[in-house]
């Protein structure tokens, strides 16, 4: 199954502010394609000119200032390429309602139809159900699943500008794999292999009867050991199994 893991960085939290000049915009979008939970290597990434200021408190999160973003395309200029990349695949995001709101606000500005709720999968909701009461931020999940073992620099994310849409999407792809059952998912058989495996499991066990040796091996017990054993068996009484076995 093809899915798109994606993330956005923005100027704030209000994509639909009643004052148009105060509406927040997407400044970066990153997408990672997965097929059967495995990253394919195909990605989509773009920095975007928001045509408005970027508050300093937001810059501290993603490090993207307006003087840098002015040199990049607007969302309207990359919308067609973005939609072509995602196609009709489900869109997976962490706290998906946030990214969905911004994405649909940008699409409406371009005169394009919004993406329906059925397209979105929220990994935050999945994580909260699996780990009730625990922190389920993307960073907390990355630490829980020890993603530093796979080359992700989790320490760097704690500093100013440590977050980015593309790296967050890559982290999310690995988190999503674990939330959906972990790396053992990759051990699943296809239909043909499963049939062969089931047949092997259901096949009755056949025990092969071994013939006795033509010449028995000589005993390696000493006379003292034989005598001690005989004395022990005698204490067990007439019903001792050793006597019945001969």
Enumerate the active-site residues. 163
Buried b (16+ CB within 10 A) or exposed e, 85-118: bbeebebbbbebebbbbbbbbbbeeeeeeeeeee
Q: How many residues does the chain have?
A: 246
Task: Give the other-Cβ count within 10 Å of 172's Cβ.
Answer: 24
Helix (H, G, I), strand (E, B) or coil at 80: helix
Which residue, among 75, 92, 24, has the nearest Cα to 52 in the 3D structure?
Answer: 24
DSSP letters of 85-139?
HHTT--EEETTHHHHHHHHHHHHHHTT-PPPPGGGEEEHHHHHHHHSTTS--SHH
């Amino acid at each position: 199954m093809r899915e798109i893991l994606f993330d956005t960085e923005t100027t704030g939290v209000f994509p639909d502010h009643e004052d148009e000049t105060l509406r927040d915009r997407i400044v970066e979008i990153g997408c990672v394609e997965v097929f059967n939970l495995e990253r394919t290597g195909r990605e989509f990434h773009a920095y975007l000119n928001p045509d408005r200021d970027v508050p300093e408190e937001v810059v501290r999160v993603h490090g993207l200032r307006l003087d840098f973003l002015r040199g990049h395309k607007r969302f309207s200029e990359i919308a067609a390429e973005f939609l072509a990349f995602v196609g009709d695949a489900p869109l997976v995001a962490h706290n998906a309602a946030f990214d969905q709101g911004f994405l649909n606000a940008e699409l409406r500005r371009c005169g394009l139809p919004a993406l329906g709720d059925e397209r979105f999968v929220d990994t935050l909701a999945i994580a909260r159900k699996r780990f009730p009461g625990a922190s389920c931020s993307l960073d907390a999940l990355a630490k829980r699943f020890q993603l530093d073992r796979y080359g992700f620099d989790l320490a760097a994310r704690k500093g100013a500008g440590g977050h980015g849409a593309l790296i967050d999407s890559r982290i999310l792809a690995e988190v999503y794999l674990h939330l959906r059952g972990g790396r053992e998912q990759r051990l699943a058989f296809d239909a043909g292999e499963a049939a062969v495996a089931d047949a092997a499991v259901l096949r009755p066990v056949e025990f092969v009867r071994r013939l006795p040796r033509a010449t028995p091996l000589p005993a390696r017990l000493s006379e003292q050991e034989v005598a001690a054993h005989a004395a022990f068996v005698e204490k067990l009484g007439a019903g001792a199994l050793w006597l019945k076995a001969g």
